[in-house]
Amino acid sequence: MSTARQQLARSRPSPRAHLSDLPSESYDSQFVKWDELSYIRKKPRRATPFDRNLYFYPEALATLFAHPKVATSPEEIRRKLLVLHLYNYLEFTVRLELGPVNEISQLLCYEEFLPWLPSQMKDDAFKIYVDEGGHAEMSHILMVAVEKSTKVKRLRLQPAFLRTLDHLVSNEEPEYRPVIKLFFVVISETLITGSLVKLPKDETVQMAVRANSRRSG
């Protein structure tokens, strides 16, 4: 058994623990219709053409546009900045989902990691792993298509959250590191929910971008 898989395995609750303190075996899975609803499993891949009249990212979600000089800059500059904001959003998605999210999803698949979790919950972790990896691939393909269409080059910067996570993990004892990553993933996914709710509804944004954010929900 690898070190990563051994970590936390010994944290199984005591037999004397009260049943109300343990996850219920009546866990209500949200993946019952996964084969019918998951984009990865069911829906065909289509290339959505870009509309020259639409933006690549909402100004309301772009932090740079909070500055009045940016918000009132010429249209061509604003459009390029929104493309760069989209790259940042998509790169964040790719790095988060291929990195911490699927690392934790993989650990959750193993019986040795948090072994008291309901078996159905662990089965669902496999589906999450597939969905998250698939959405990362879609985000990468979208970045390539946008760069080809707009001629705006990606900056190819490593998201700061990866350095932050590495710092947090490296300063803790090995047995606590999976727990830190687990909560990091929970918090990160919760924080981006606002964008995932708003972006698909913004009709000023390219359909392909809106569809991509919808698939991550």
| Segment 186-192 long-range contacts (CB within 8 Å, at least 24 positions apart) | 188/96, 188/100, 188/101, 188/161, 189/101, 192/92
Can you give the pLDDT at residue 155?
Answer: 85
Spell out the CATH class of 51-215: mainly alpha
Can you give the pLDDT at residue 18?
Answer: 45
Can you give the pLDDT at residue 94?
Answer: 93
Can you give the pLDDT at residue 66?
Answer: 92
Can you give the pLDDT at residue 14?
Answer: 45
Q: Which residues does the chain have with pLDDT short of 70?
A: 1-25, 39, 41-46, 215-217
